[in-house]
Amino acid sequence: MFNYSDKLNTLMETVKRIYEENWGKYPPSHDFLHVKRVLVIAEKIAREEGFTEEDILILKTAVILHDIAIAVTGSKNNHAEKSSKIAEDMLRKLGYPSKAVEVICTAIAEHSWRVNRKPSSRISAILQDADRIDALGAIGLARLFSYSTILGRLFYNEEEPIPRSRQLNEDRYALDHVFTKLAKIPDRMNTASGRRIAENRLKLLLKILGYMEREIEGKM
């Protein structure tokens, strides 16, 4: 029988080394710490959803490799499909069963929000949920600001930091991205567990924005 646990440990060290060797090449918002956080979230959801131990190990494998192309190339451009191809090569070299490789690589190819693909398996569904949850809450806001500096966005619109009446412009203002994408994440969850976590993190994120607005206005 294939030992997923041993292979997972080997893969974890290999991928960690790839991220370390390419540090500075990829955005900090998509570093190995992001991978580790998504691992924790994914396992939590999987256990609540009744996954077997073997399926949890397969899910973890998908999580570890889901953004590998970003670490290798430094770019998010078509990263889900590219990560899927890199993952397939790595997993076959490690001797993973063909069925597991197919499930893992398909889940990776499907995980991107921009690609907007429906999950074809429970593994894919939870990978999507866990990855998107990490875009919410306090960590999500930190990641948003980090990545926005790379995109050349201002943190917020000076006249109306929290957009209430003006037109949204996420290409220009980081905080607008909260309302064009992040606020929609809970409704896009595939699992009940994921939705609960996402809703709680969105509430926290919006609460933080309230404090930010008060600071900007000199009320704190």
Domains and CATH numbers, the chain: 4-117 (1.10.3210.10), 137-216 (1.10.3210.50)
Give me the pLDDT at residue 115, please. 87
Residue among 178, 156, 154, 176 at smallest CA distance from 167:
176
Buried b (16+ CB within 10 A) or exposed e, 31-57: bbebbebbbebbbbbbeebebeeebbb
pLDDT, tens digit (0-9, with 9 covering 90-100), for 57-104:
999 999 999 999 999 999 999 999 999 999 999 999 999 999 999 999
Indicate the pTM of the whole model: 0.95
* Measured distance CA(194)–CA(177) in Å, rounded: 21
Please check whether residue 61 is in contact with residue 8, taking contact to mean a CB–CB distance below 8 angstroms. yes
pLDDT tens-place string over residues 93-102: 999 999 999 9
User: Residue 1 — pLDDT band, cuts 50, 70, 90?
Assistant: confident
